[in-house]
A and B are shown apart, each in its own frame.
Chain A
Amino acid sequence: MRIIKFFSGLLLLISAFTSHAALQVVTTTQDLAAIAQAVGGKQVEVQSLTQGTRDPHFATAKPSMIRQVFGADLLLVIGADMEIGWLPPLLQSARNSRVQPGNPGYLDLSSAVVLLDKISGPVSRSMGDVHAKGNPHYWLDPRNGLRMAQAIATRLSEMDPAHKDDYQRRLNTFEQIMGTKLPLWQAELAPLKGKRVIAYHKSFIYLADAFGFQIIDEIEPMPGITPSASTLSTLVERIKTEHIGLLIMEPYYERRSANYLNEQTAIRMVVLPQSVGAQTDINTYFDLFDAIVATLNKVED
Chain B
Amino acid sequence: MSYAHFRFKRLAALSCLLLPATGTVLAGEEINALHRQIQHMLLLQQNQEQQIKELERHLQHLEEDASDASTDNSGLLSSSTTTTSDGFQIGLSGLFSVGGSSIDNDTLEGLQAGAHDPKQNGFTVQNLELSMGGTVDTHFDAQTNIIFQIDANGETVVELEEAFFTTRNLPWGLQVKGGQYFTEFGRQNPQHPHAWSFVDQPIVLSRFFGGDGLRGQGVRVSWLMPTQWYSELYFGIQNPKGETATSFLNTPGEEIGGYTLIDRDARNFSDLLYSARWLNGVDLSETVSMNVGVSGLRGPNASGMSTDTSIYGADLYVKWQAVSSQHGFPFISWHTEILKREYSAGDITDFVHETLKDEGLFTQAQWGFKPGWIAGLRAEYARADGDTSADPLRDNRHRLSPNLTWYLSEYSKLRLQYNRDWVEHLPNDTADSLWLQMEFNLGSHAAHVF
Known: A55-B327, A95-B175, A252-B325. A66 touches B224 (CB 8 A): yes
Q: Nearest-CB distance from A152 to chain B (Å)?
A: 14
Within 174-224 of A, Cβ neighbours of B (below 8 Å) are at 175-176, 178-180, 182-183, 186-187, 190, 193, 212, 224
Q: Within 8 Å of chain A (Cβ to Cβ): is B22?
A: no
Q: Nearest-CB distance from B49 to chain A (Å)?
A: 10
- B291, A63: Cβ atoms closer than 8 Å: yes
Q: Please give, as numbers and ranges, the residues of chain A lying within 8 Å of B71 by CB-CB distance.
A: 120-121
Q: Nearest-CB distance from A96 to chain B (Å)?
A: 8
Interface residues on chain B, size class: 35 or more
- B281, A143: Cβ atoms closer than 8 Å: no
- CB < 8 Å neighbour of B283 from A64, A85, A94, A110: A64
Map CB proximity to A onto B55-84 as digits: 1 under 8 Å, 0 otherwise.
001100100110010011000100110111
Q: Please give, as numbers and ranges, the residues of chain A lying within 8 Å of B80 by CB-CB distance.
A: 108, 111
Closest to B2 in A: A193
- CB < 8 Å neighbour of B230 from A60, A63, A147: A63
**A/B pair count, beta carbons within 8 Å:** 195
- B327, A224: Cβ atoms closer than 8 Å: yes
Map CB proximity to A onto B314-346 as digits: 1 under 8 Å, 0 otherwise.
000000010111111000000000000000000
Assembled-state Cα–Cα distance A226/B229 (Å): 37
Q: Within 8 Å of chain A (Cβ to Cβ): is B11?
A: no
Q: Within 8 Å of chain A (Cβ to Cβ): is B428?
A: no
Q: Please give, as numbers and ranges, the residues of chain B lying within 8 Å of A97 by CB-CB distance.
A: 138, 168-169
Q: Within 8 Å of chain A (Cβ to Cβ): is B25?
A: no
Q: Please give, as numbers and ranges, the residues of chain A lying within 8 Å of B225 by CB-CB distance.
A: 11
Q: Please give, as numbers and ranges, the residues of chain A lying within 8 Å of B411 by CB-CB distance.
A: 125
- B72, A95: Cβ atoms closer than 8 Å: no
Closest to B4 in A: A190
- A187, B3: Cβ atoms closer than 8 Å: yes
Q: Please give, as numbers and ranges, the residues of chain A lying within 8 Å of B174 by CB-CB distance.
A: 95
Assembled-state Cα–Cα distance A85/B326 (Å): 15
Assembled-state Cα–Cα distance A229/B61 (Å): 36
Q: Within 8 Å of chain A (Cβ to Cβ): is B173?
A: yes
- B2, A14: Cβ atoms closer than 8 Å: no
Q: Within 8 Å of chain A (Cβ to Cβ): is B46?
A: yes
- B169, A60: Cβ atoms closer than 8 Å: no
Q: Please give, as numbers and ranges, the residues of chain A lying within 8 Å of B370 by CB-CB distance.
A: 254
- CB < 8 Å neighbour of B169 from A100, A129, A147: A100
- CB < 8 Å neighbour of B324 from A53, A66, A80, A176: A53
- CB < 8 Å neighbour of B170 from A54, A84, A95, A133: A95
- A70, B224: Cβ atoms closer than 8 Å: yes
Q: Within 8 Å of chain B (Cβ to Cβ): is A266?
A: no
- A88, B86: Cβ atoms closer than 8 Å: yes
- A110, B82: Cβ atoms closer than 8 Å: yes
Q: Within 8 Å of chain B (Cβ to Cβ): is A253?
A: yes
Q: Please give, as numbers and ranges, the residues of chain A lying within 8 Å of B61 by CB-CB distance.
A: 118, 120
Interface residues on chain A, size class: 35 or more
- CB < 8 Å neighbour of A79 from B83, B138, B325: B83
Q: Please give, as numbers and ranges, the residues of chain A lying within 8 Å of B325 by CB-CB distance.
A: 53-55, 58, 252
Q: Please give, as numbers and ranges, the residues of chain B lying within 8 Å of A113 by CB-CB distance.
A: 79
Q: Nearest-CB distance from B183 to chain A (Å)?
A: 17
Known: A60-B449, A63-B291. A175 touches B3 (CB 8 A): no
- A70, B173: Cβ atoms closer than 8 Å: yes
- CB < 8 Å neighbour of B40 from A51, A89, A175: A175
Map CB proximity to B onto A147-179 as digits: 1 under 8 Å, 0 otherwise.
100000000000000000000000000011011
Closest to A86 in B: B448
Closest to A110 in B: B79
- A79, B82: Cβ atoms closer than 8 Å: yes
Q: Within 8 Å of chain B (Cβ to Cβ): is A59?
A: yes
Q: Please give, as numbers and ranges, the residues of chain A lying within 8 Å of B34 by CB-CB distance.
A: none
Q: Within 8 Å of chain B (Cβ to Cβ): is A18?
A: yes
Q: Nearest-CB distance from A85 to chain B (Å)?
A: 4
Q: Please give, as numbers and ranges, the residues of chain B lying within 8 Å of A186 by CB-CB distance.
A: 3, 6
Q: Please give, as numbers and ranges, the residues of chain B lying within 8 Å of A51 by CB-CB distance.
A: 286, 323
**4 shortest interchain CB distances as A-B pairs:** A63-B281, A111-B80, A97-B169, A63-B230
What are 17 of the A-B contact pairs (CB < 8 Å)? A14-B227, A51-B323, A54-B323, A60-B321, A63-B230, A64-B230, A64-B289, A86-B448, A92-B168, A95-B224, A114-B79, A120-B72, A121-B71, A187-B3, A225-B409, A251-B324, A254-B326
Please list the residues of chain A having a beta carbon within 8 angstroms of any beta carbon in chain B: 10-11, 14-15, 17-18, 51, 53-55, 58-64, 66-67, 70, 77, 79-81, 84-86, 88-89, 92-95, 97, 100-102, 108, 110-111, 113-115, 118, 120-121, 125, 128-129, 133-134, 143, 146-147, 175-176, 178-180, 182-183, 186-187, 190, 193, 212, 224-226, 251-254
